[in-house]
Structure 1
Amino acid sequence: MSDSPAPAAEAADRRRWWGLVAISVAVALIIVDSTIVNVAIPYVVDDLGLTSSQVQWVQESYTLVFAATLLIWGTVADRIGRRRMLLIGVVVFVLASVLAALAGSGSALIGARIIQGFGGAMILPTTLSLINAGFTGRDRGIAFAVWGSTIGGMVAVGPLLGGWLTTSFSWRWAFGINLPLGLLIVAGVLLFVPESRSDARGRIDVVGALLSAITFATLAFGLIEGRTYGWWTAADGLKIGDWTWPLAISPVPLAFAVTLVAGATFVWRTLRRTREGKPTLLRFDLFSIPSFRNGNIAAMIVSLGEFGIVLSLPLWLQNVLGYTAFQTGLVLLALAIGSFTASGLSAPLSSRLQPAAIVRTGLVAEIVGIAGLGLVIGPSTSWVAIVPCLFVYGFGVGLATAQLTGVVLVDVPVQRSGEGSGVQSTSRQIGSALGIAILGTVLFTTAGARLDSGLAEQGVPAAARTQVVNAVVESAGGAIPALAKNPQTAPIAPIAEQAFSDATRWAAFTAAGFLVLGLLATLSLGSGARRVEEGEAGAVEAVNAPGAPSVP
């Protein structure tokens, strides 16, 4: 009889790790979906006859809703139950995916993508808070490593899966694949993931939630659309959806103005309600925890460059080197392999190094990998030169992303895991949106300038240069293969290929620069750089801090 507790403990431990598998697949669901859509879009355009504006909103409607509601659902999950919120998110996401797969028009597809955004925002912070609540000590570091490597790996696996599904079957399977994945996740979560929630009760701060959503939606809109709509003056013939913009000023500065007003109101209102003891969406006392505050700053800066290359590299591989979507996915698979390799090494590394040291090691690997890409990119680069750089970059992502997440959340009280996870996910999302805006501007501005300069050296008239440059830039390089096939424009195709390669190179160097800044930002982690095992005591101290809920 004395031996009975040991098998029971082993069974509970096995259930916990199987639960981590289900949680990781849930993360993979939303990451793969976002990358699959990028590959499937050309096929969707042909089938549904989407306008250029609709193409844009198929991508961005999801991103805006996702970024706007991350903080909301993370906090709500603490109240109603984190497992319950994850299951709701998966069901919403899968049902929306089915609607997207059955969509008969661009408007129907955009509507489905909006619903997907809500589901995805329910899933991501909840997976983090479940790990934070379900694992402690060294096991928590390993669990976060698996979570982070899943994100890094799925960013690369998505294009491969999407290329295969869309070319071998239909673009509709790019969404339909989420149905069996969703059923698998629901079964795994119900079987292996225990429920957890905060002891705190009370009404949800609905006004605070709306202010938060407006703040982050308008911020993401401005960052994403600045290059397209104009950072100050509205682009000629500007349309938002099917509506023509009536003002000379771009909607982007107006969106940023709304961000400032809504954000300031949110902060003022939250501080006032906290003093009065009323429920709030977020309590700012979390930022008094050094590891949480400094870690979020570092995570935001790192996100500026961490996945930026995924924006430009597939465009370069397909439009300059002539790879198919499936071949592009195979090349990017090196990133996934590197990320999963890092996951396998997380346990021995976490026993020897502090989490912040592992983060810095990963960031150095990312910088080496992405700077290496910048050095080898050219119109005739072989995949043999690209794959090692992507592997090193992916290895760095697998180390840095997971361990940085662990550092951010290590001292956050377990019963506020959803709140902390929502803030952390939002910080990364803002950083990613800003990074995409800046790297996209670098990519297309450099491509246009280099192409115009190269054509001028060949004596091409200004009017013709403008036409070619606009065609290449507005198609994100998609016009380059057409230039090469047309006998009349074939002589200028190599100039376009060189210009786009130069632009991709500078985008890579810019991303590397952001990662250097992120590496410097990790120097501020200070006490958050302790080993994860030591962070448990800090979590209890934070729980017992003035204004924090009592330990259960």
Structure 2
Amino acid sequence: MAVNPPQPGVRHPRMGMRTVLTVLGPALAFAITTVDPVLLTLNLPEISRGLHVPPAQVGLLGSAATLVVAAAVLAVGNLGDSYGLKRLLIYGLAATIVFQLLAALSPNHWFLLAMRFADGFALTALLGLSLALLTVSVPDEFRPTAIGIFLASQATLYGISPLLGGWVVGAAGWRWLFVITPPLALVALLLTARYVPDPPRRPARPVDVTGVCLFGLALLSLVYGISAAQNGFASPRTWVPLVIAAVGFATFLWHERRARHPALDLSLFTRSDFVAATLAVLTFNFLVAGLGVILGRFGGLILGLPPRAVGLLYLPGTVLLAVTSVLTGRMVLRHGARRVLLTGLLVMIAGGLVVAFGASPVMALWLLILATWLINLGSFVTATPASDTILARATPADAGAVAAVQPTFGMTGYALGPTIYILLLNLFFHREWVADARTAGESVQQAQSGVDAVRSSLATSPGTPKFDPNLVQQRTGLALDLDYTNGVRLTMLVVTLLPVAVAILVFFAMPRRRRTRK
């Protein structure tokens, strides 16, 4: 039976308080999946010092939960359809509370790593089931507004949490960092248990374990191969995992086409608007995740901003982001998903271009805040119409499986963002200082020795590491601060091509008017 979604330009009834409370529980659960990794990554130096984490393990510690989510979220949607979306979401919230509190008691970094992997499975439930529960708990005419409430909660906590985390760590120590999300999870659990109806379940069916494992193996291999590419593409450490990733993704698609109960229903991608929406989800997660790399490295090395000041970059405009997230749902109702989606992508493009053309060793702080705000604003505006387009294909029988597409592509973009940004930044920085050395009449070997000496001094200097222009000139004769800034500019220019390409696809692939959902 066809369900007619709300048409643009038609006035619809307002949401009552009970409906708002129905949305708020899953919305807080969804927001936790953003707050958790942000709190961890921005405070990794303090955690690493506190637990004496080896340098080779820091990256794994920071990405452990995210990689688990990206690999497992396809399975949790199918499990929710069979065993209960509400039940599994409550279990996930309870597990998050337990694993976070255990992480606060970590005696060593191996225990904390185990808790991060375990919490990744809990976060998978929060991310993969909250949107699905929204789909079956809220009438169609309220869905865009409800998604706006989801994103408003996320925007508010996303803007506040970096500052809150920095303050808590500075005042009480890094262990208290893991006490921030449990109260949020408890409130989400109580609201979900009290106000969210328990949707009907379909008969239990086997989980596509093979498909989930193939996707996880391919994604992990891709991330590892891209990370290793900094040491050269000819190295077996680079091309072997990249080949494994290519074979893994190809085998995954082959398997999904033949599986009786696939983890990812490929028939969903026969519609161009669905493809455009999923690529938009991947894009804004990719840009937001990579932005953290740029802010941390450029802000610290070149502008000399301490970690707490970097966290403050997210705070300005937080209230406006939250309000915009709610209003975006109404904009989708009035103007359709296509126009709003294009607007969000264009705003993200503007934010990227601000850094690409405005970055300098003496860049004004307000300009960096503007770029951060524009990229975050564009991501929140993009998320509502993209999520609504994806969820419009869901029915009560497969809400979990369809809704899982959004976090699958989102977490894939989030996992790839930092890796690709770091790769591009290092490649462009290397190209810049090599050209600088040749202009100065130095050999590449001599310049490399000077760059290594400066890097060593940064690693051993107290306080915030920062390129000291006097030290740079004395040790190498090179303008490494300018070279690094040019690397940042080129990186942002290249990655901004992605939302440009997706905007072109959206313009031609998505209908000007919302179609009837079948």
Alignment TM-score, normalising by the size of structure 1: 0.82
| Corresponding residue for residue 26 of structure 2 | 23
Please say if residues 291 and 411 of structure 1, whose CA atoms lie closer than 8 Å, have aligned partners that are also in contact: no
| Corresponding residue for residue 54 of structure 1 | 57
CA drift at 1:477 = 9.2
| Corresponding residue for residue 358 of structure 2 | 376
User: Is 1:75 the equivalent of 2:78?
Assistant: yes
- AA of the residue aligned to 2:486: D
Counterparts of 1:197 and 1:336 in 2: how far apart (Å)? 37
User: Which of the residues 312, 336, 357 maps onto 1:354?
Assistant: 336
Cα RMSD, aligned residues only: 3.2
- AA of the residue aligned to 1:353: H
CA offsets 1:171-200 (integer angstroms, 9 cap, x no match): 112222222222222112112222224424
- AA of the residue aligned to 1:406: D
CA offsets 1:86-127 (integer angstroms, 9 cap, x no match): 122222223222222211222112111111211111211211
Q: Which moved more, 1:61-70 or 1:92-101?
A: 92-101
Counterparts of 2:363 and 2:341 in 1: how far apart (Å)? 31
CA drift at 1:314 = 2.5
CA drift at 1:336 = 3.4
| Corresponding residue for residue 416 of structure 1 | 398
| Corresponding residue for residue 430 of structure 1 | 412
| Corresponding residue for residue 518 of structure 1 | 502
Counterparts of 1:110 and 1:180 in 2: how far apart (Å)? 22
1:191/1:525 CA distance change after superposition, 3 Å: farther
1:308/1:153 CA distance change after superposition, 3 Å: farther
CA offsets 1:247-305 (integer angstroms, 9 cap, x no match): xx21x43333433444444444443343xxxx443433333344333422343345443
| Corresponding residue for residue 451 of structure 1 | 433
CA drift at 1:339 = 2.5
User: Is 1:175 the equivalent of 2:178?
Assistant: yes
- AA of the residue aligned to 1:271: R
| Corresponding residue for residue 286 of structure 1 | 268
3-state DSSP class of the match of 2:199?
Answer: coil
CA drift at 1:484 = 5.5
Counterparts of 2:170 and 2:107 in 1: how far apart (Å)? 19
3-state DSSP class of the match of 2:335?
Answer: coil
3-state DSSP class of the match of 2:263?
Answer: coil
| Corresponding residue for residue 91 of structure 1 | 94
Counterparts of 2:109 and 2:246 in 1: how far apart (Å)? 32
| Corresponding residue for residue 307 of structure 2 | 325
Please say if residues 337 and 394 of structure 1, whose CA atoms lie closer than 8 Å, have aligned partners that are also in contact: no
Counterparts of 2:268 and 2:457 in 1: how far apart (Å)? 44
Please say if residues 39 and 177 of structure 2, whose CA atoms lie closer than 8 Å, have aligned partners that are also in contact: yes
- AA of the residue aligned to 2:500: V
User: Is 1:253 the equivalent of 2:239?
Assistant: yes
Matches within 5 A, 1:8-407: 13-152=16-155, 154-223=157-226, 225-227=227-229, 231-233=233-235, 249-250=236-237, 252-274=238-260, 279-334=261-316, 336-407=318-389
CA drift at 1:80 = 1.0
Counterparts of 2:36 and 2:353 in 1: how far apart (Å)? 28
Counterparts of 1:437 and 1:292 in 2: how far apart (Å)? 26
CA drift at 1:153 = 5.2
Please say if residues 85 and 400 of structure 2, whose CA atoms lie closer than 8 Å, have aligned partners that are also in contact: yes
1:312/1:71 CA distance change after superposition, 3 Å: same
| Corresponding residue for residue 246 of structure 1 | none
Please say if residues 285 and 379 of structure 2, whose CA atoms lie closer than 8 Å, have aligned partners that are also in contact: no
1:464/1:42 CA distance change after superposition, 3 Å: farther
- AA of the residue aligned to 1:510: V
Q: Which moved more, 1:438-447 or 1:286-295?
A: 286-295
CA drift at 1:448 = 2.8
CA drift at 1:163 = 1.7
| Corresponding residue for residue 504 of structure 1 | 488
Please say if residues 304 and 465 of structure 2, whose CA atoms lie closer than 8 Å, have aligned partners that are also in contact: no
- AA of the residue aligned to 2:83: I
Please say if residues 352 and 371 of structure 2, whose CA atoms lie closer than 8 Å, have aligned partners that are also in contact: yes
Q: Sequence identity of aligned pairs in percent?
A: 21
Counterparts of 1:306 and 1:492 in 2: how far apart (Å)? 35
CA drift at 1:72 = 0.9
Counterparts of 2:289 and 2:28 in 1: how far apart (Å)? 20
- AA of the residue aligned to 1:381: M
User: Is 1:441 the equivalent of 2:423?
Assistant: yes
Please say if residues 41 and 55 of structure 1, whose CA atoms lie closer than 8 Å, have aligned partners that are also in contact: yes
3-state DSSP class of the match of 2:343?
Answer: helix
Counterparts of 1:67 and 1:474 in 2: how far apart (Å)? 35
Count of matched residue pairs: 504
Counterparts of 2:189 and 2:303 in 1: how far apart (Å)? 41
CA drift at 1:361 = 0.9
Please say if residues 138 and 350 of structure 1, whose CA atoms lie closer than 8 Å, have aligned partners that are also in contact: no
Counterparts of 1:347 and 1:526 in 2: how far apart (Å)? 17
Please say if residues 66 and 120 of structure 2, whose CA atoms lie closer than 8 Å, have aligned partners that are also in contact: yes
3-state DSSP class of the match of 1:195?
Answer: coil
Please say if residues 22 and 185 of structure 1, whose CA atoms lie closer than 8 Å, have aligned partners that are also in contact: yes
CA offsets 1:41-70 (integer angstroms, 9 cap, x no match): 111222221111111210132232121111
Counterparts of 1:160 and 1:215 in 2: how far apart (Å)? 35
Counterparts of 1:475 and 1:519 in 2: how far apart (Å)? 43
1:196/1:12 CA distance change after superposition, 3 Å: farther
Question: Where does structure 1 lack aligned partners over 5 or more consecutive residues?
Answer: 1-9, 234-248, 542-552
CA drift at 1:231 = 3.9
1:194/1:288 CA distance change after superposition, 3 Å: same
Counterparts of 2:21 and 2:212 in 1: how far apart (Å)? 33
- AA of the residue aligned to 2:37: S
Question: Where does structure 2 lack aligned partners over 5 or more consecutive residues?
Answer: 1-12
Please say if residues 356 and 525 of structure 1, whose CA atoms lie closer than 8 Å, have aligned partners that are also in contact: no
1:477/1:506 CA distance change after superposition, 3 Å: farther
Please say if residues 469 and 481 of structure 2, whose CA atoms lie closer than 8 Å, have aligned partners that are also in contact: no
Counterparts of 2:24 and 2:494 in 1: how far apart (Å)? 35
